[in-house]
Amino acid sequence: MNHHPPTHVGRALTVVLGALPFIVVTLLVFGDWPPLRRWDESVAARVATYGATHPSTVDVWQVIGAVILPWTSRAVILVVAIYLWHRRARLLTVWLVVSAGAELGLVQAVEHIFERPRPAQMLVESGGWSYVSGHATAAFVMAGALGVVLPSVRGWRRRFRLLVTLPTIAVVWIASVDRVALNLHWVSDVLGGWALGLGILTATSIGFGLRPGLRRRRRRLPSDENGTSVPPRAAVIVNPIKVGDGVAFRRKVTRALAVRGFDDPLWLETREDDPGNAMAKRAIENESDLILVAGGDGTVRVVCAALSGTGIPVGVIPAGTGNLLARNLHIPLDLDDALERILDGRDRRIDLVKVSGDGLDTDHFAVMAGLGLDAAIITGAPPILKAQIGWTAYLVSAAKNINHPSVKVRIVLDDEEPVERRVRTVVVGNVGMLQANIPLLPDARPDDGLIDVVVIAPRRVTQWPLVFWRVMTRTKRTEMYLERFTGRKVEITAAVDVQRQLDGDGIGPGRTLTAEVEPGSLVVRVPKRR
């Protein structure tokens, strides 16, 4: 699925066109259009005559009808939604659930609004109203889920796409014919059901900014000195542990790049002893025009640090536990959606922060660094638990570290006088949002040439709710439990060794942490402004 933000007029026009078939069929049915009425009555009469002399055939259709129920189609959609949620395609998951809910609600509403009687010569007993056919509508919406969404997410090739598309078309046809073969619906009821299903899928797709398939239009390619088109090059740096279905992911990315005129990408996998530094250097040597990185915050940090000052844009495809840089750059956490929005996005310069300290080599971070409780929480989160439940594993670690001792620190900001505090944690940020949209540093911007510092210092455990309230309400006033500072350089010195972290990775205990902003040193690919 693509996620392209069309204009408001284009959205409205597409929704109207999607609803138009249902409006036309409904007007023809209840306007008693003679050709449609004669067709309905002719088919119903033939079915009644045939069913009276072929009871075994009626039994077969009755069994089929008992299997292909609307709730069967909705159950299939639920299974697909669960699969998509597991694949981190969260946007598509919500779209499916909303579409199924809209189908259920609108079918009931249409039936009760028009109250059209069923054909008089029904071959089996059934209550309710005739228009529209709920079986046909539910099957049509299910076909949209399986025939469009699932192949797109998995990145299947065309021959595998047919293995899904053809059976779903068959199910729609069988479910619809079954209703007519049992004389439970007029032919126009089935046509109205198909049209309603089309309208639902169109409206919800536009509402979520989704369109099936990849755009086939290739972009104009740059030319060399002889006027020959030279396709741009991309490199993809992948943490194989974070990207589960590597084969499908690779196929999807390769196809998306090819559609946009890129040459075959250079694929580079991180190793346990190198989270991305050598891979980024090789991508630079390859003269890549775009570097995509799919991994956790640690992989993203290392790659971004290596690309500092090169001018090569990097696109972050979220695949880790925190995905903090992606969140703060408004990149969707849905893997498929993120890929589309990045490749069709714009370049933006942001700051990096150079960091050093005792026992540390000079490094960089793009999100946050910390000293004290936050680092202890990150270090204490079990990797197995992070893999199973994601960033909520940090909540478990936070509960275990709630009594983490305070430490006396000395903070020097730019050329100002030192500040001494007894704190639980000090966080230095280039951006401000944590998981669950917690605004730890609400004024932080990745391209303002400044770093933001927050000092959190509750005296007792009972004061933590007040601190949390101050953070969530974006309180800016300074108080003893929560202080914020802004500058271009900060030096933090602790009285004893404490845990430290960079962009969600523990870097070991120490007493000092120095951070200095490097304005505009990194180019990132972000979604276009709406």
- Dump pLDDT digits (tens) for 329-344: 989 887 778 888 999 9
Token pair 């699969």 is found at 83
- Residue 388: the pLDDT is 60
Same domain, 259 and 186: no
| DSSP output for 82-95 | HHHHHTT-HHHHHH
pLDDT at 221 exceeding the cut of 80: no
Highest mean pLDDT among 69-73, 81-85, 379-383, 509-513: 509-513
In the predicted structure, residue 353 carries a pLDDT above the cut 90: yes
Task: Name which of 120, 124, 137, 118 is nearest 182 in CA terms.
Answer: 124
Q: What pLDDT does 322 receive?
A: 72
Mean pLDDT of 189-214: 80
Tell whether 450 is covered by a domain: yes
From 39-43, 56-60, 92-96, the region with the lowest mean pLDDT = 92-96
pLDDT class for 148, splitting at 50, 70, 90?
A: low
Domain for residue 228, yes or no?
no
Same-domain pairing of 279 and 421: no
Domain membership flag for residue 523: no
- DSSP alpha helices (H): ranges in 244-368? 246-259, 277-285, 297-307, 324-328, 335-343
Residue 33 pLDDT level (bands cut at 50, 70, 90): very high
Q: Per residue in 100-131, pLDDT tens?
A: 999 999 999 999 999 999 998 888 888 889 99
Q: Are residues 136 and 9 in the same domain?
A: yes
Q: Name the residue with tokens 């003679």.
A: 34
Q: Which helix (H) or strand (E) holds 178?
A: helix 158-181
E strand spans, 174-322: 210-211, 234-238, 266-269, 290-295, 314-318
Query: What's the rounded mean pLDDT across residues 156-162?
Result: 55
Question: Same structural domain for residues 49 and 170?
Answer: yes
pLDDT band at 295 (very low <50, low <70, confident <90, very high): confident
Residues 175, 239: one domain?
Answer: no
Residue 294 in domain: yes
Mean pLDDT of 199-223: 62
**Do 347 and 365 sit in the same domain of this protein?**
no
| 160 lies in the same domain as 188 | yes
513 lies in a domain? yes
Give the mean pLDDT of 497-520: 91
Question: Within a domain: residue 35?
Answer: yes
- Count of the separate structural domains present in the chain: 3
Q: Indicate if the alpha-carbon torsion angle 354, 357, 363, 366 is positive or negative.
A: negative
359-411: pLDDT as tens digits: 888 899 999 999 988 888 877 776 666 666 555 666 777 777 777 788 999 99
Measured between its terminal Cα atoms, the distance across the chain in Å is: 19
How large is the average pLDDT for residues 220-228? 53
In-domain check, residue 415: yes
Do 375 and 301 belong to one domain?
Answer: no
Domain boundary (351, 376, 391) is at: 351
Tell me how far apart the alpha carbons of residues 323 and 130 are, in angstroms, rounded to a whole number.
50
The answer to whether residues 345 and 383 belong to one domain is no
On whether the CB atoms of residues 409 and 493 are closer than 8 A, the answer is yes
Count Cβ atoms within 10 A of the Cβ of residue 467 and give its class: 0-12 exposed, 13-18 middle, 19 or more buried: middle
Of 318, 351, 384, which one is at a domain's C-terminal end?
351
Nearest to 517 by CA among 445, 456, 454, 455: 445
In a domain? residue 453: yes
Q: What is the mean pLDDT of residues 133-157?
A: 73
Q: Does the pLDDT at position 225 exceed 70?
A: no
Among 325, 351, 377, residue at a domain's last position: 351
Look up the domain containing 36 and give its range: 2-211
Same domain, 407 and 493: yes
Cβ neighbors of 260 (< 8 A, separation 6 or more) are 218, 219, 343, 344
For the chain, the maximum distance between any two Cα atoms, rounded to a whole number of angstroms, is 99
- Choice between 447 and 207, residue whose per-residue pLDDT is larger: 447
364, 240: one domain: no
Looking at the fold, whether 197 and 250 belong to one and the same domain comes out as no
CATH number for position 316:
3.40.50.10330
